[in-house]
Amino acid sequence: MVKPFTQPIYVTRPILPDLATVTERLRPVWEAAWLTNTGAQHRALEARLRERLAVPHLALFNNGTSALTAALMGVGVAGEVITTPFTFPATPHAIRMAGATPVFCDIDDRTLNLDPQAIRRLITPRTTAIVPVHVFGRACDVARIQSIAREYGLRVVYDAAHAFGGSVGGQSIGSFGDATMFSFHATKMFHTVEGGGVATARGDLHAALDRLRNFGIDETGDVEAVGMNGKLNEVQAAIGLATLELVDDELMNRRRIVAIYTRLLACVPGVSIVTPGWPDQPTAAYFVIRIDAARFGMDRDALYEHLLTYNVVSRKYFSPLCSNLTAYRDLPSSAPSALPIANRVAGQVLALPLYGALPPTAAQAIAEIIRLASRRPARATRLAAPTAAPPTVRHPRLTDGRVARSVPA
């Protein structure tokens, strides 16, 4: 019998450097009274991350969304840009903000990344670029995407928001296409509270990104292209430097949790694991399962609710699909009939809690809750109604405004 957790177990928790370390890191910022506009901390973090990500150039930004928008502006997108609907809204938003129209393309049923064959079918004379997402940190088929881009003369900007530390065949995940965006948001493996970066091998693009992030101002003080205020400030950069020192430990602990989930969930009927563990997938950004309702005995939404009764706050990343959001559903490419795999997958995926500070016993308990749920009669589990006075637990407010409940296990 598994008891509900007394505190909410969230899908992730940020790396938190010791407060005294953060204060120490902020001392030089205070002493210099230099808070933003590409100061010493920013330059130091950029250099450290360039090395860590093994990329020739890196431009830091105040978040991943502005980084992706600037990268798309920098490569000069226009007309149509092919991307995946199975992503966070930031991806199509960046395409729109850079002045192009997203064209949603179906995904591969196993990797949940863009299906290269489907990309080919969507290319028109108006297509200028492809924005693939390394979803949940799993690398896209970069070789096939590159060959399509070369054949049709298209730009490729990767959204690697989830793929910090990823690689393909021993090569940094940030070294493909024209550019690769990383997110350094608090919910990511490495973070600067809010932040992002664009890696590129193109010196010209790197120079353009440096200008675009600073209102478009160039070395002479002139402005050729309309830019943004996309600068990462010194406080964030200093926290990033402290966080970076903890990333290896975080990664090791996360891999341990992934191994526990994988071992305990692999044989549960109706559960399939989307995100393989180390060494097949080095990123450990998310642990995502897919629920086959018929075999499992309840559907994904019922399992989400069931986990909530134990104070486990899983997430339905990425549901609803971007193509079904009000902002995008009227696009011709958003028709559900054109995106059968993405629409099916969006109803099945569930991201389980994964972060370094999650106790292994908690991961075991979460896997056990899922295993036991699969054996319950579907009706009883679906209702999951309290049958006795619930134990005393905190009732966390969820980000969608609802409150997590508790019922006896």
Applying CB under 6 A, the residues found at the interface with ligand T4K are: 10-14, 63-65, 87-88, 90-91, 133, 159, 161-162, 183, 185-187, 196, 313, 315, 317, 399
| Residue nearer to ligand T4K on the CB measure, 197 or 297 | 197
**Least gap, CB of 161 to ligand T4K (angstroms):** 3
**Least gap, CB of 153 to ligand T4K (angstroms):** 25
**Least gap, CB of 267 to ligand T4K (angstroms):** 29
Q: The tokens of 261 are what?
A: 């989930």
CA terminus-to-terminus distance, the chain: 7
Strand partners, 287: 352
| Residue nearer to ligand T4K on the CB measure, 287 or 296 | 287
Q: How many CA atoms lie within 13 A of 116 on its CB side?
A: 13
Distance CA 87, CA 65 (A): 13
**Least gap, CB of 183 to ligand T4K (angstroms):** 3
Point out the residue whose Cβ comes nearest to ligand T4K. Answer: 64
Distance CA 147, CA 319 (A): 30
**Least gap, CB of 366 to ligand T4K (angstroms):** 15
| Residue nearer to ligand T4K on the CB measure, 62 or 128 | 62
CB contact at 8 A, 167 and 36: no
Cα 333 → chain centroid: 23
Strand partners, 148: none
CB contact at 8 A, 83 and 64: no
The candidate with the shortest Cα–Cα distance to 272, out of 284, 259, 290, is: 290
| Residue nearer to ligand T4K on the CB measure, 66 or 374 | 66
Strand partners, 129: 81, 155
DSSP string, 153-185: T-EEEEE-TT-TT-EETTEEGGGSSSEEEEE--
| Residue nearer to ligand T4K on the CB measure, 114 or 133 | 133
- Cα 381 to Cα 15, 304, 366: the distances in Å are 35, 11, 16
Task: Give the CA dihedral 128, 141, 191, 246, nearest 10 degrees.
Answer: -160
**Least gap, CB of 133 to ligand T4K (angstroms):** 5
Checking phi first, is residue 38 left (phi over 0); if not, alpha (psi -120 to 50) or beta? Answer: left
Name the 3-class secondary structure at 249. Answer: helix
**Least gap, CB of 65 to ligand T4K (angstroms):** 4
CB contact at 8 A, 136 and 154: no
| Residue nearer to ligand T4K on the CB measure, 60 or 90 | 90
**Least gap, CB of 95 to ligand T4K (angstroms):** 11
**Least gap, CB of 356 to ligand T4K (angstroms):** 12
CB neighbours of 332 closer than 8 A, spacing ≥ 6?
Answer: none
DSSP string, 86-144: SS-THHHHHHHHTT-EEEE--B-TTT-SB-HHHHHHH--TTEEEEE-B-GGGPPP-HHH
| Residue nearer to ligand T4K on the CB measure, 132 or 282 | 132
CB contact at 8 A, 114 and 108: yes
| Residue nearer to ligand T4K on the CB measure, 102 or 270 | 102
**Least gap, CB of 295 to ligand T4K (angstroms):** 28
**Least gap, CB of 371 to ligand T4K (angstroms):** 24
Distance CA 274, CA 349 (A): 8
| Residue nearer to ligand T4K on the CB measure, 164 or 296 | 164
| Residue nearer to ligand T4K on the CB measure, 103 or 268 | 103
| Residue nearer to ligand T4K on the CB measure, 296 or 317 | 317
